[in-house]
Amino acid sequence: MSEELNDSEDFLAKWLAGELSPKEESKFLASAEGQEYMAIVNSVEKVALPTYDVEGELERLKNKQKQTLKPTAKVIKFPQVFRYAAAAVIILGAYLIYQVAQPKYEVYKTIAGQIETIVLPDKSIVTLNANSTLKYNPDKFDENRHLELSGEAFFEVTKGINFEVETDQGIVKVLGTSFNIWNRENLLDVICYTGKVNVSEKSYTQDLTPGDGVRLINGNFDRLLDQNQLNTRPLWITEGITTLDAVTMKEALNELSNIYGIEIISNKSQEALPYTGTFPNTELETAIRLVLGANNIEYTFDQANKKLVLTGN
């Protein structure tokens, strides 16, 4: 554990901030260093300064002045509690420095059924689909147009320095263009509408031009996507329609849940079925019939509790 503390200067600050994983925290508190630092923190909470007898101390000072003894060097020993307090101040100082050093992100989150339009500092426009999250550092955006996305969004990027969107499945880089990213669980679809887009992850890289698309699964290339009739913007924005191509029923059901906020009960055999199709984003029962009808799956739907249960095998 001592090596781990030495390797990470802000390890203690993360511990105080409660940012360690359960495994890291358990390992740390089980170590000798962890027990020492825990004792320090506990001791600081119990610190009580001793009372000070002013008149008594003054009388003792007068008596000392009357003495003619030769002064001798003296080592002052601080009580253990003050040593703990000093160490705790250092730890707390490191924590404060760590907190101040953290970038202050601008974060946008949408809920089921919500679409939000975001204007970035460079006047680029992001249309964020349901159940999605977008964040960036506004303080550094002028020099580094870097964003992080989870979910789906359509980007209309103004010309300028490199514009980069990071997902957990890959990174999309552009200069000035428009493109759509669909990033759900282990799947990433990127489609270029105008300009030029680069998609990269690990050892894979792919340039896209208008009408081109690519799919990555678990960060690995799966296949190219061909948009036969390319619109200027995706259908989920212009017509309120979700289009899914060669996905599993699980991914289709997840999109239904993202858009309508319903609970869905299904089994693994149903979730493994293939699905390609479209459904409306504003007519729930129609959407359910279109998705489940593609594989003749029977179901019950509780409108009051917004609960969809797939029946059969």
Please report, for the domain that includes residue 157, its CATH number.
2.60.120.1440
Of 44-53, 152-161, 176-185, 267-276, which range is least confident? 44-53
Enumerate helices (H) and strands (E) in the chain, giving the number of each: 10, 18
Q: Are residues 96 and 131 in the same domain?
A: no
Residue finishing a domain among 191, 213, 235: 235
Q: Are residues 111 and 218 in the same domain?
A: yes
Q: How far apart are CA 186 and CA 169, in angstroms?
A: 7
Model confidence over 93-102: pLDDT tens digits?
655 555 555 5
pLDDT, mean of residues 166-182: 93
- Is 26 or 10 the better-scoring residue by pLDDT? 26
pLDDT at position 289: 97
The residue type at 19 = E
pLDDT, mean of residues 159-176: 93
Model confidence over 15-53: pLDDT tens digits?
776 777 777 777 777 787 777 777 766 665 555 545 555
Counted domains in the chain = 3
> If you average pLDDT over every residue of the chain, what do you get?
83
Model confidence over 231-250: pLDDT tens digits?
789 999 999 999 999 999 99
Residue finishing a domain among 235, 266, 295: 235
Residue 136 in this model has a pLDDT that exceeds 80: yes
Provide, rounded to the nearest whole percent, the portion of the chain with pLDDT above 70. Answer: 73
Model confidence over 295-307: pLDDT tens digits?
999 999 999 999 9
Residue finishing a domain among 101, 121, 136: 101
Residue 8 forms beta bridges with which residues?
none
pLDDT at position 276: 96
Q: Is 92 exposed, middle or buried (0-12, 13-18, 19+ CB in 10 A)?
A: middle
Give the residue numbers spanning the domain of 155: 106-235
Residue 54 in this model has a pLDDT that exceeds 70: no
Q: Are residues 73 and 131 in the same domain?
A: no
Q: Give the number of other CB atoms < 10 A from CB of residue 263.
A: 11
The model's pTM: 0.68
Q: Are residues 119 and 147 in the same domain?
A: yes
Q: Give the number of other CB atoms < 10 A from CB of residue 72.
A: 5
pLDDT at position 8: 52
Residue 223 in this model has a pLDDT that exceeds 80: yes
Q: Are residues 172 and 244 in the same domain?
A: no
pLDDT, mean of residues 151-165: 95
pLDDT at position 6: 43
3-state helix, strand, coil in the chain (%, to 5): 30, 30, 35
